Structure 1
């Protein structure tokens, strides 16, 4: 994979069950040949990050799902640290990018004319949270004990800060009660172990890896309460790309939907993680997994955009529905 460095309560499930799906779930019977038009860009460049969210893409590659829809994607690995501002216009770094919804929406509010292609991942209990050193258990007994202390995150304007701020609020604190410190994901465990930070926000597989390699422990889950089942990430492309290449966009959406459905088989996810995102088989088997939505509902990422507005990540509200790529099925 090519690597590019970027510059800088009615039950929620009941509510979602009543909403119409935006994108069609792809048929999972791979014996049926699709009748979609030939993609304009078969060798579509997909920007990915080394997190479990992207596992269905690699399932799609391994299981021949992309090929079924006429795609031969080229994976471009983006960096996990800092505020990502990829160029998705013609001749840029990628055609379609994966990222957290926070980063996608920050790009949009900063002027990127992007549209949403699909959802990637939804958090579940113990898939994202604050970890601390085992030696810190006696000193940190509650979230309130973090007041005045440094917390490591991979991005000072990212998902980790949004989720941690929400956790602080539910514990009677505000964002300024802690000091966020930016470190790459693969350095956060060592920062906790050495005492450079009192706690660090992580996602899988980094959370499980930190527990196995540096004896970190989960201190506070950031996917509970108001952020339970939190929509974590998705896929986007430039509006201009979608307009020029409707067949390619449709092929990607159908392949993604089928791959997300296939990823319900955890064994397939465990098989691709060691090969594509450098996760040991042991970590792949032990870590907790969230959900891979096979349909795209605007109401889910809208939760993220609205929380960003509430926390002043955004100055104006983003209407996610107006940012959904709508590709008509072939006649």
Structure 2
């Protein structure tokens, strides 16, 4: 009689242990029956070649390099400095770069000429006074209308500067034919303005601030206002064949870009890389006007560029940017 309660307690404990063990086995079975989560594609080509220009737009890439963001996502990029002057026609199939950075104008002109490229991401949007027309401190020009019949220095006769300046001219009732564009490197424009070889020059940062500090140039007109306010300035593209052959590499680059662009929202982070990678002084880096580094890629933004290019007859037909978006862009 005295042993029965003890046996009853032991039996009860055993039954509870058996029940818990059964429940654990069921839970494990249920977990194992769930569909497998999608895995991140392998990076097929870690040593991706990135075509870059020494302009403010590319600062996030150098932030990514400095902070180990590329390595974090399995990439070991090789930076290739591209030409900043003239109308560039880039061979992404057999050339020196796999992915290229450039102004949207140049990217879409390449596409219009038959380059089968896809958009990987946005780089930069112009901000107030981040791009504009400069004149010498002794210039008698006081308004955009005073540019009639004058020479304007630009880095590319078929580039972003001409597109933006044409828009400013139109706002003031003028035509592109009312001025004469003269092509020269960015780093020569301010001096040409000072010498009177051109009456005005179009510049982006950091060249804009450098011209004001070093040469004393004066801003005549902001070219990122009105119809071109917050204008999508530049982006990244690769050949469609590259995106198809190396989808994991492309996705890795897009992840790097998104993280780096987010880091670049902190101005001090951008200022820290500019002296070493874009070759500007610390004072210029601190004083220059910055635009915006988009953290997502939306076709509607570069489509603005296409539409303006078509209106100004840079393009014979419109390009549908949505159809040019690589997998992974949103």
For the aligned pair, the TM-score class normalised by the smaller chain equals 0.7 to 0.9
Alignment of 1:291 onto 2:303: no
Question: Aligned-pair distance for 1:39?
Answer: 0.9
Helix, strand or coil for the counterpart of 2:135? strand
What corresponds to 1:29 in structure 2? none
Which structure has the larger Rg?
A: 2
Alignment of 1:119 onto 2:138: no
Determine if contact 1:246/1:327 at 8 Å carries over to the other structure.
Answer: no
Q: Distance in 2 between matches of 1:223 and 1:153?
A: 16
Determine if contact 2:51/2:80 at 8 Å carries over to the other structure.
Answer: yes
Runs of 4+ in 1 over 6 A off after TM superposition: none
Question: Aligned-pair distance for 1:36?
Answer: 2.6
What corresponds to 1:26 in structure 2? none
Alignment of 1:101 onto 2:134: no
Question: Aligned-pair distance for 1:328?
Answer: 9.4
Q: Distance in 1 between matches of 2:266 and 2:104?
A: 25
Determine if contact 2:254/2:328 at 8 Å carries over to the other structure.
Answer: no
What corresponds to 1:190 in structure 2? 191
Q: Distance in 1 between matches of 2:95 and 2:309?
A: 27
Determine if contact 1:36/1:69 at 8 Å carries over to the other structure.
Answer: no
1:46-105 Cα distance to aligned partner (Å, 9 max, x none):
00001000000000111111111100111000111001111111x421000000000000
Determine if contact 2:41/2:247 at 8 Å carries over to the other structure.
Answer: no
Structure 2: give runs of 5+ residues left out of the alignment.
1-38
Question: Aligned-pair distance for 1:37?
Answer: 3.0
Question: Aligned-pair distance for 1:277?
Answer: 1.2
Q: Distance in 1 between matches of 2:63 and 2:144?
A: 38
Q: TM-score scaled by structure 1?
A: 0.87
Q: Distance in 1 between matches of 2:281 and 2:86?
A: 25
Determine if contact 2:103/2:234 at 8 Å carries over to the other structure.
Answer: yes
Question: Aligned-pair distance for 1:327?
Answer: 4.0
Q: Which structure 2 residues correspond to residues 19-34 of structure 1 after superposition, within 5 A?
A: none
Determine if contact 1:82/1:182 at 8 Å carries over to the other structure.
Answer: yes
Alignment of 1:78 onto 2:79: no
1:121-145 Cα distance to aligned partner (Å, 9 max, x none):
0001000000000000xx1111000
When you count helix as a share of all residues, which structure comes out higher? 2
Q: Distance in 2 between matches of 1:64 and 1:82?
A: 33
Q: Which of residues 58, 64, 83 in structure 1 aligns to 2:62?
A: 58
What corresponds to 1:268 in structure 2? 269
What corresponds to 1:46 in structure 2? 50
Q: Distance in 2 between matches of 1:56 and 1:278?
A: 15
Alignment of 1:206 onto 2:207: yes
What corresponds to 2:223 in structure 1? 222
Q: Distance in 2 between matches of 1:328 and 1:255?
A: 13
What corresponds to 2:135 in structure 1? 132
Structure 1: give runs of 5+ residues left out of the alignment.
1-34
Question: Aligned-pair distance for 1:231?
Answer: 0.2
